[in-house]
Structure 1
Amino acid sequence: MSAIEDRILDKTWFYRFRLPSGRITTTYDDGALDQIHDSRLAMLKQVVDQRFGGTLAGHNAIDIACHQGWFSTKLVEWNADDVLAVDARAEHVADTTLIRDALNLSKLRVMQSDVHAIDTAKLGQFDLVLMLGLIYHLENPIGALRQARALTRHMCVVETQIVPGMTGMVDYGSYRFVRPLKGSFGIIDETDDTHGPEASTTGICLVPSLEALFWIMRKIGFARVELVPPPEDAYEQLRYGKRVMVAGYVE
């Protein structure tokens, strides 16, 4: 096991993992990003506890765009019966697998797939679906949310950057036919950053407004959609509403 830990500690990670020996991974920029992960985890734990009664025992979960598997490991720690970690990048799948083996998490499975390529019929549904930090890196965020809805048995948690919203009425083909805006998307260019492990794989990103995210999630089949409140000491983007966490409920 020490050989696996040595491999892990030989690189810098996006997340702070505590290994069985008690050693902790070094994270980007000397831990400058740790607060956002801690804030997201606190928000996730709050909404998971509310929905599942403080434990995931008897439930399964899928973590879409799991990155290095940090949140997936937390779901196992919260006693989920089965957790499937999915990511499009081979390096993230390898990192998650390495962490899983180091922590001896037999209930954690790892799969490589783009969100749009997931065979939802084959995988079936999960009591809890995570989609954290993904949709604002996609050129088809609505398609990704539809995938998440198809996989959701009870609750889906989406965390994303958002853009300012637009409201008002627009002529729709003629001044005689006027429609209300239900939200808006901002276009972000990541075409020069697709090599980066935290960036888009295609480079074209459509980032929703909060109104758009709520409206879309309701339209694709979530019966109820709620904003998860950030803690008072949350990372600044979450504290000031530049990023949000939203829970969608099937029933």
Structure 2
Amino acid sequence: MSDDALEARCLARSWFYPFRLASGAVTRCYLADEVAGIHATRRQMLHEAVLAHFGAGDAPGRERRAIDLACHEGWFAQQVAALGFATLGVDARAEHVDDARLVAEACGARGLTFRQADVHALSADAAGRFELVLCLGLLYHLENPVGALRTAHALTAPGGLCVIETQVAPNLAGPLDYGHHTFVKPMMGSFAIVDETDETHGPETSTTGICLVPSLAALLWILRKVGFAEAHVLPPPADAYEQLRYGKRVMVAATA
């Protein structure tokens, strides 16, 4: 397909993300303006986290690898590829993989590969390990978020970085009778159950419909329990999208 035909195909429709194509034209975003601001905030926070962990530029003679779990249209995969990472984007939906390949070509992006895969079907034995693992906008659409975080840890190379961005639920903590009032266990966090069973056809929803949304305390505790050495919440910029600014969504950096 010619460059002009690629661009025309991308500009003829709306996208979840505002892609800047090779010509400089920008695709239409189908989100409302007050919601679309989330993209700029997440891009800035991700960029700052990657530079803080890896520094600017590539290590001499070393190619760093990144994987974007549930990559959707591949916008964040393009962001980290532009920072010098050889990047694999995976998504459970075949149409997302097709879209990601199409728009990456139209953007002139390099160092990118996309394939269809569910996060729970990935393994380090098959895929290898990556210096950078992205898990953005995924956890709160899953019925097994703990399993997904185990996979993310398994895919993160020693000394590598995993960046998680998610909606978070209110926390519930305190003592819990555990079979008898004399045997009490502390609650380490909580999950909220969200029903997306009538929305699984949507491009930004769960594939199963049962969603467990972690509280921030639960997320940080689980990250350490599945093997990450350290995890901390990234500070949002002053002009951040409101959900991140007020802590209803968070971006967390976890190191292996």
Structure 1 and Structure 2 fold alike (TM over 0.5) = yes
Alignment of 1:160 onto 2:162? no
State the Cα distance separating 1:176 from its structure 2 match. 1.7
Q: Distance in 1 between matches of 2:199 and 2:20?
A: 30
Residue 87 of structure 2 corresponds to 83
1:156-195 superposed matches below 5 A: 156-195=162-201
Displacement after TM superposition at 1:72 (Å): 0.5
**Where does structure 2 lack aligned partners over 5 or more consecutive residues?**
none
What's the counterpart of residue 126 of structure 2?
Answer: 122
Q: Secondary structure at the match of 1:226?
A: strand
Aligned pair count? 249
| Superposed CA RMSD | 1.1
Measure the CA separation in 2 of the matches of 1:109 and 1:221.
Answer: 28
Letter in 2 for 1:46: E
CA contact (8 A) 1:162 1:243 kept: yes
Which of 66, 69, 72 aligns to 2:74? It is: 69
The amino acid across from 1:92 in the alignment is H
**SS of residue matched to 1:16:** coil
**Does residue 213 of structure 2 align to residue 211 of structure 1?**
no
Alignment-derived partner of residue 233 in structure 2: 227
* Contact 1:60 1:126 (C-alpha < 8 Å) held by counterparts: yes
Contact 2:223/2:254 (<8 A) preserved: yes
Q: CA deviation at 1:106?
A: 3.5
Is 2:54 the partner of 1:52? yes
Distance 1:106 1:46 in 2: 21
Unaligned runs of 5+ in 1: none
Residue 140 of structure 2 aligns to a residue whose secondary structure is helix
* Residue from 4, 28, 33 that aligns with 1:2: 4
Does structure 2 retain, via aligned residues, the 8 Å contact 1:182–1:212?
yes
Identity of aligned residues (%): 55
Cα distance change of structure 1 residues 171 and 56 upon mapping to structure 2, 3 Å threshold: farther
Aligned to 2:25, the other structure's residue is in SS state coil
> What is the CA-CA distance between 1:56 and the residue it aligns to?
5.1
1:111 and 2:115 matched = yes
